[in-house]
């Protein structure tokens, strides 16, 4: 059976990998934050993945719109991740690693968006 990674755009796979890394980190949040902050971050990441998959199948304006939505949602997730760190609910090492992965995903989405801008 072929590996689905072979056909998925790089940003889709990066988001998938980020989700599988981050969910166990969110499970470590204190109970008081797990069902608020943790849930919002997890839901945001899943929405980003949905938008990226829609972009992979979309064309033209639909693709650009899906990438825009993914980028906007990623910005919200970045801020929520920072809030978790500021509240001292996320260890420095995990925060740094997660922030780096979020940044790389943002660069991949940005590159994908630029490559799909209409040519003038």
Instruction: DSSP letter for 23, please.
Output: H
Number of Cα atoms under 13 Å in the Cβ half of residue 53: 11
Alpha carbon distance 33, 39 (integer Å): 8
Give the integer Cα–Cα distance in Å for 24 and 77.
16
Length of the chain (residues): 120
Q: State pLDDT tens for residues 42-95.
A: 999 999 999 999 999 999 999 999 999 999 999 999 999 999 999 999 999 999
How is residue 11 annotated by DSSP?
H
**CB of 81 within 8 A of CB of 98?**
yes
**Secondary structure string (H, E, C) spanning 28-71:** CCCHHHHHHHHHHHHHHHHHHHHHHHHHHHCCHHHHHHHHHHHH
Q: What is the pTM of this model?
A: 0.89
User: Using one digit for the tens of pLDDT, what is the confidence trace for 19-50?
Assistant: 999 999 999 999 989 989 999 999 999 999 99
């Amino acid at each position: 059976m072929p590996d689905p990674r072979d056909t998925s755009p790089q940003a889709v796979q990066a988001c998938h990998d980020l989700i599988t890394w981050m969910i166990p980190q969110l499970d470590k949040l204190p109970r008081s934050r797990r069902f608020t902050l943790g849930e919002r971050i997890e839901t945001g990441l899943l929405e980003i993945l949905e938008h990226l998959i829609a972009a992979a199948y979309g064309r033209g304006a639909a693709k650009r719109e899906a990438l825009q939505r993914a980028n906007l949602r990623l910005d919200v997730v970045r801020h929520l991740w920072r809030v978790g760190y500021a509240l001292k609910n996320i260890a420095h090492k995990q925060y740094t690693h997660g922030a780096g992965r979020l940044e790389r995903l943002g660069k991949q989405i940005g590159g994908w968006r630029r490559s799909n801008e209409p040519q003038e």
